[in-house]
Structure 1
Amino acid sequence: MQKIMIVEDDPKIAEHLQSYIEKYGYVAVKVAAFDRVIDEFHKTKPDLVLLDINLPSYDGYYWCRQIRKESICPVIFISARIGEMDQIMALENGGDDFITKPFHPEIVLAKIRSQLRRAYGEYASKVEERILEIENLRLYPERMELSFGGNTAALSKKETDTIEVLMERYPRVAGREDLLEKLWDEHVYVDENTLNVNITRVRKKMESIGIKGAIETVRGAGYRLSVTWSEEDEG
């Protein structure tokens, strides 16, 4: 059975989450030592983490960064913070999704299922590795890696999905709805700014391997992959 690690310092909320998640056949493990979350992560080896932001000792952003140093395990933030900047910070620090308190347990479960499916479902079952390539830019979806000019960048699941949509649509525009549908099953709950943040993260990853100006914003439509950088960077 797949294992969910719950990092929530409110015992009532943690108990409620654990009871509901286990009701649907998952193993749910509550973290008790909030100053040793990464140790609990190593011990539990979860398939997904539910992570509060306001925690004793260090906040959830810090612990998400520690997890990201060694794992691409999906991380869903759950927090009473409702500001746009809090959601941006969650994504910038490696989170895959964000749920605000108070929450409906059905939404939490739906997002858990969505992240597990995307991280371990249809992609994990493929035997032959897929490689998407445009002008020496290569995406390895199953590895979640992007390479160009001898440089390689590790990607999060959402970064991988974003680049995959852009490459599959090239040279056409990838509409915002196309991206939202690929990235979030429940995109009706997703703020428009959340997609913008994800695009910004992808641009930074591309810059880290030597590509600038790779994603063009098409006002009122979406985004388009540009390959005008290829000759300049290869030269």
Structure 2
Amino acid sequence: MYRIWIIEDDAKIAALVAAHLSKYGYEAQRIEAYDEVKRRIAGSDRPPHLVVLDINLPKYDGFYICRQIRSVSNVPILFLSARAGEMDQVMAIEHGGDDYVTKPFHLEVLLAKIRGLLRRTYGEYAAAASGAPPREDVAEFQGLFLDRSKLTVEYEGRKAELTPKELQLLGALMTRPGEPVAREALLERLWDDVHFVDDNTLTVNVTRVRKKLEALGTPHAIETVRGVGYRLAARRETP
């Protein structure tokens, strides 16, 4: 049973979402101690498989809580917010979120988003999204190792943790190393409904993956192909 934490200050909305998720077999609970989210995730032997997170919260906003979660966990985070602006959605991705649903919302749309994130992270889509064959956890290209089961990328002994979206992005590029992958193809692969995803969200995720690869010692791994998209480039030899 997947465990889902709902971090939402509106008790009625939280109860409605929890009840709907429970009907479909999920273990859903509302988390009200916002200042303890990081500690509870880091120290729990039953951490959540997914977090539904509002932005407008008392004391701390959702962006801050998302950063706190990301410092200890790569659990999928779905923002649920009344903020419908494109920049709010971009900021949610920049701070480590994986998807975004605006209020007012349909419960079935929220459920579909949650199911999609769970499938991509833990279920039958996880292998395809990472670029590895079924039941194969690790993909490799020129010394760059992507471990789907651990949500990590490794290069020359150095390792970095990835969010689910970062894993899917790098995995998609590793399925066609050296070849350009269109932005549209990446958007379709990373999000269920590309019509509601701002194009900047892909750019933000590419930037985040590039920074992590640069920290591992491979700064030029992802190249921009103008007018097309991105490609995983061959390693540049040091003169």
Q: Who is 1:189 aligned against?
A: 196
Distance 1:32 1:133, change over 3 A: closer
Q: Who is 2:14 aligned against?
A: 14
- Equivalent-residue separation in structure 2 for 1:121 and 1:194 (angstroms): 24
Matches within 5 A, 1:34-113: 34-39=34-39, 41=41, 45-113=47-115
Q: What's the offset of the Cα at 1:150?
A: 2.4
TM-score (normalizing by structure 1):
0.89
Code of the aligned partner of 1:9: D
- Equivalent-residue separation in structure 1 for 2:86 and 2:193 (angstroms): 18
- Equivalent-residue separation in structure 1 for 2:91 and 2:105 (angstroms): 20
- Equivalent-residue separation in structure 2 for 1:40 and 1:133 (angstroms): 34
Q: What's the offset of the Cα at 1:89?
A: 1.9
Distance 1:128 1:106, change over 3 A: closer
Distance 1:217 1:104, change over 3 A: same
Q: Would the aligned equivalents of 2:90 and 2:198 in 1 still touch at CA under 8 Å?
A: no
The counterpart of 2:179, out of the listed 172, 178, 198, is 172
- Equivalent-residue separation in structure 2 for 1:92 and 1:155 (angstroms): 13
Q: Who is 1:143 aligned against?
A: 150
- Equivalent-residue separation in structure 2 for 1:127 and 1:178 (angstroms): 21
| Structure 1 vs Structure 2 CA RMSD | 2.2
Q: Partner of 2:13: helix, strand, or coil?
A: helix
Q: Who is 1:24 aligned against?
A: 24
What are the superposed Cα offsets for residues 57-99 of structure 1, whole Å, 9 maximum, x if unpaired? 2111222222222222111011112223222221222211111
Q: What's the offset of the Cα at 1:109?
A: 0.4
Q: Structure 2: any 5+ residue segments left out of the alignment?
A: 128-132
Code of the aligned partner of 2:84: I
Q: Partner of 2:34: helix, strand, or coil?
A: coil
Matches within 5 A, 1:198-209: 198-209=205-216
Q: Who is 1:154 aligned against?
A: 161
Q: What's the offset of the Cα at 1:187?
A: 2.4
Code of the aligned partner of 2:206: I
- Equivalent-residue separation in structure 2 for 1:141 and 1:72 (angstroms): 12
- Equivalent-residue separation in structure 2 for 1:108 and 1:193 (angstroms): 22
Q: Who is 2:137 aligned against?
A: 130
Q: Would the aligned equivalents of 1:129 and 1:142 in 2 still touch at CA under 8 Å?
A: no
Q: Would the aligned equivalents of 1:78 and 1:98 in 2 still touch at CA under 8 Å?
A: yes
TM-score (normalizing by structure 2):
0.87
Q: What's the offset of the Cα at 1:35?
A: 3.4
- Equivalent-residue separation in structure 1 for 2:139 and 2:39 (angstroms): 37
Code of the aligned partner of 1:189: F
Q: Partner of 1:227: helix, strand, or coil?
A: coil
Q: How many residues align?
A: 231
What are the superposed Cα offsets for residues 118-153 of structure 1, whole Å, 9 maximum, x if unpaired? 1111348x9954332222222222222112222211
Q: Does 1:4 align with 2:20?
A: no
- Equivalent-residue separation in structure 1 for 2:92 and 2:135 (angstroms): 33
Percent identity, aligned pairs only?
A: 51
Distance 1:214 1:79, change over 3 A: same
What are the superposed Cα offsets for residues 157-206 of structure 1, whole Å, 9 maximum, x if unpaired? 11111111111112211112321222112223211111111111111111
Q: Partner of 2:178: helix, strand, or coil?
A: coil
- Equivalent-residue separation in structure 2 for 1:130 and 1:199 (angstroms): 22
Code of the aligned partner of 2:68: Q
- Equivalent-residue separation in structure 1 for 2:101 and 2:146 (angstroms): 30
